[in-house]
Amino acid sequence: MNKFGLTNLTILYSASLAYGNQPDSTFSQTEIKEVIVTGKSQELTPATNTSHTIKVKEAERLGVSSVSNAIRRMAGADIKDYGGIGGLKTISVRSLGSKHTAVIYDGVALSDCQNGQIDLGRFSLDQISSLKLTIGADNNLLHSARHFASPSVLEMQSGKPSYDDEKKFHAMAKVTAGSFGLVNPTVSFDHQVGSSPLNSIKASADYLRADGQYPYTLTNGQITTEEKRKNTAIESGHAELNGHFFLTPSRQLSAKAYYFSSDRELPGSVVLYNNISNKERLKDQNFFTQLHYRSDHWKRWVFLVDGKFNWAACRYHDEAKKYPNGEVNDNYFQREWYGSGVAMFKASKSISIANAADYTFNSFNSNIYDCVYPKRHTIQDALSLQFLKQKSTDNRFFSATATALGSYFKNQVEKGDAPQDSKRISPSIVLATKPFLSGFYFRASFKDIFRMPTFNELYFDSFGAKNLNPERTKQYNVGSTYQIESEKRVKSFSISADAYYNEVKDKIVAIPRMFVWSIINMGYVEIKGLDCTMNCEFSTSKRTALFLSAKYAYQHAIDKTDVQSDIYKHQIPYTPLHSGNGSLAFENPYVNISYNVNIVGKRYCQPQNNKANKVDAYSEHGITLYKKLKFKHFDTELRGDILNLTDKQYEVVKYYPMPKRSYKASIEFNF
């Protein structure tokens, strides 16, 4: 075994520490064999908590073409889409809203202290190797405190290059073009650093432009007209620089620098009897740099250290007669300094203890009237204890993980009075077991968590409210997974089901009062639901295979704030009672083909469930054709997508029509 093979096995050993499987003695040839065995236990992780992982390369053959499209395939997740290629796309998990989901990129959380939600439209699948959504309590101890501070967490992981003795670099060039003026070139290049094939540096960039002027049908009573969306152009670019370094076999360092810029027109909602084109425009810039360090050098200890600086600018422009000079130009700037340290100790073969401590400093400024220049200091500490009893002979196990998160928030402003400081203790627990030799796994979890008001909710212009309480959320979940793998005709099969109950108290809502909106705590929401997923791979012959996946979600999310209210027990806005999707792919030596469908039941755009607020149900179908070709010095992949195959007009958000049938094609070269 050469030194690089030994290093690869050491990585498996390091990764297994996260689940409390490390042996008590030091490295030897015998111990490395044990690493291979315990490495299999990582495959059990998706079944031991409420999580869903998508490998991008595997998902692309099922017609997945974007980050938001991939998230729609995840149990419990919904995407709110404001239409068009450049429209805002945010994630909502189990009806809790986008502000209740933390988005993590390569181990470190993304942030937006202004409005608390992350636009997933700015991330490309070309730069991502996997996505993982964890809902509720997590049984992985090696996370930052910020990871434990949200009801759900979406983790995006970029790919790590690997090399052999002959090839020390990779290069990729891809061009995507499609309907409505879409042009999207992407390039990346990575190279081995030094003598180790595990050390690399990678640079990547992409550019996107589109006019976005897609047609739609406008119905006004008995009159139907064909219209075209206007003020929909977008131009954006994104670049990343990533480095992965193994300083020693037990110490690794990764670094990332990220920049994104976009200039997009905002089409606005479709309003009857108003053909005046919207003049709104939004320019965004975001830069961050981050470091992630891990050490497994000491026998019973694992250490993680994260650091990050984030800067973002948002520039809003609008033209209308209502403004004093006929236009408005609002500029918003935010900064964040973040640091995290995690230590995990293996107390015995069955017990592990971990502590994560985070510090975050946020600041915000704007040119809007009466900006108070807010700042926030956040200290979070998560103490976790895990018990794991595992039989290495048959893979049966029982685990229990408990976490207590302590949070302290100190608010400051340069003008006026600052909101009160806040501190909270948030507990969570997750139980998991595989009691039989068969592939059944069972899990149960509870998590009590909260969401602090964003800077917009506290301070924005004339309707911020400095006395807001955090939104409080309680999550209960029970679930089971059955999964098998074999060398027979059915290569793999898994089915999973989770039943859950959520409570949201002190819900922050915006309500109109005369000419000024107010933001207050007033809501109590009760959510009951069921998530089901199924995945299967069939070997139909030596050269052909079928891949099938399906998801179903039932969500009964009702407002129970006031028994005397007109909306008491009404379904909360934009939450369908039933939704689901499915994909079928056929791989063969000629042209691979996949079919997918996304089905969403009726919803309501306002708290009152009446006909005027109804958003119709819809089903969206798509077909993907793809082919990989291998040449002497490079590989090529050709891909074509037909989106919204049935030319269905529908809305995800009321009055924001989505595109009808459209086309997209790409060619990718890998060197």
- Angle between helix 3-16 and 29-39 (nearest 10): 50
Q: Which residue has the higher pLDDT, 458 or 26?
A: 458
Closest CA to 151 of 133, 165, 164: 133
- Structural contact between residues 401 and 393, judged by C-beta atoms closer than 8 angstroms: no
> How do residues 29-67 score in pLDDT, each as one tens digit?
333 333 323 333 333 355 677 888 888 888 877 778 888
Alpha carbons within 13 A on the beta-carbon side of 184? 26
Closest CA to 648 of 622, 613, 611, 614: 622
Q: Per-residue DSSP letters for 357-420?
A: EEEEEEEEEESSTT----EEEEEEEEEEEEEEEE-TTT--EEEEEEEEEEEEEEEE-SSSPPPP
- Structural contact between residues 154 and 91, judged by C-beta atoms closer than 8 angstroms: yes
> How do residues 502-560 score in pLDDT, each as one tens digit?
999 988 876 554 344 567 777 799 999 999 999 999 888 888 999 999 999 999 999 99
Chain mean pLDDT for the chain? 85
Q: What does DSSP say about strands 182-192 and 301-319: parallel, antiparallel, or unpaired?
A: unpaired
Closest CA to 551 of 89, 173, 82, 133: 133
Q: What is the pLDDT of residue 142?
A: 92
Q: What is the pLDDT of residue 7?
A: 34
> How do residues 137-169 score in pLDDT, each as one tens digit?
888 999 999 999 999 999 999 888 888 878 899
CA gap 597, 584 in Å, rounded: 9
Which residue do the tokens 């490395």 mark? 32
**CB count in 10 Å sphere of residue 149:** 22
CA gap 340, 345 in Å, rounded: 17
Q: Which residue has the higher pLDDT, 485 or 556?
A: 556
pLDDT value at 24 more than 50 = no
| DSSP conformation class of 3 | H
Over residues 409-426, mean pLDDT: 92
Per the structure block, which two tokens stand in for 449? 């968590």
Q: In the chain, what is the straight-line distance between the N-terminal and C-terminal CA atoms, in Å? A: 28
pLDDT interval class at 229 (50, 70, 90): confident
- Structural contact between residues 134 and 155, judged by C-beta atoms closer than 8 angstroms: yes
- Structural contact between residues 458 and 419, judged by C-beta atoms closer than 8 angstroms: yes
CA gap 493, 485 in Å, rounded: 7
> How do residues 101-112 score in pLDDT, each as one tens digit?
999 999 999 999
The letter for the amino acid at 290 is Q
- Structural contact between residues 588 and 594, judged by C-beta atoms closer than 8 angstroms: no
CA gap 562, 523 in Å, rounded: 9
Per the structure block, which two tokens stand in for 620? 């969206």
CA gap 606, 572 in Å, rounded: 8
pLDDT interval class at 183 (50, 70, 90): very high
Tell me how many degrees the CA angle 528-533-537 measures, rounded to the nearest 5: 175
> How do residues 612-642 score in pLDDT, each as one tens digit?
899 999 999 999 999 999 998 899 999 999 9
Sign of the torsion angle spanned by Cα atoms 455, 460, 466, 471: negative
Which helix (H) or strand (E) covers residue 9, if one does?
A: helix 3-16
Q: What is the pLDDT of residue 29?
A: 32
Q: What are phi and psi of 653, to 5 degrees?
A: -115, 135
Which residue do the tokens 């064999």 mark? 33
Which residue do the tokens 């600041």 mark? 363
Per the structure block, which two tokens stand in for 246? 């193994």
Q: Compute the chain's Rg from CA coordinates.
A: 25
pLDDT interval class at 307 (50, 70, 90): very high
Q: Per-residue DSSP letters for 508-567?
A: EEEEEETTEEEEEEEEEEEEEEEEEEEEEEEE-SSS-EEEEEEEEEEEEEEE-S-TTSTT
Percent of the chain residues topping a pLDDT of 90? 54
Q: What is the pLDDT of residue 44?
A: 37
Tally helices (H) and strands (E) across the chain.
Answer: 6, 35
